[in-house]
Amino acid sequence: MCGDSCRGSYVSVFLGVNQMSLVKAMQKLQSATKMPFGHPYNPLLFLLVVLPQKAYLACLRWISRHPTAKAAALHDKLTYYASGYVTVVAKPDS
């Protein structure tokens, strides 16, 4: 890939900004109602936070394996000005 951290595209910045507000809203709901809205098994949290991040990372891995694809060219254009960074943490193959 591109080392331990890669420049994030506008997609990663968009995900981070929008998901932060959703997580904050879940935390406020949890504090107000004493119900576990911020729990990892909350399906809404999974669908709107975890799943999009997993999809973005899967796309990022695919792009890194296919650097000549049109998707890689689009990603390069979107990373030129983006200020976000993506850190990919993976278990070593053993």
In this prediction the pTM is 0.60
Please report whether residue 82 resides in a domain: yes
How many domains are there within the chain?
Answer: 1
| Residues spanned by the domain of 12 | 5-86
**Rounded CA gap, 62 and 69, in Å?**
10
Per-residue pLDDT at 3: 41
* Residues 8-37, mean pLDDT to the nearest whole number: 82
Percent of the chain with pLDDT over 90: 1
Per-residue pLDDT at 4: 37
- The first and second tokens of residue 29, run together, are 């709901």
Q: How many residues does the chain have?
A: 94
pLDDT-wise least confident of 19-33, 41-55, 59-73: 59-73
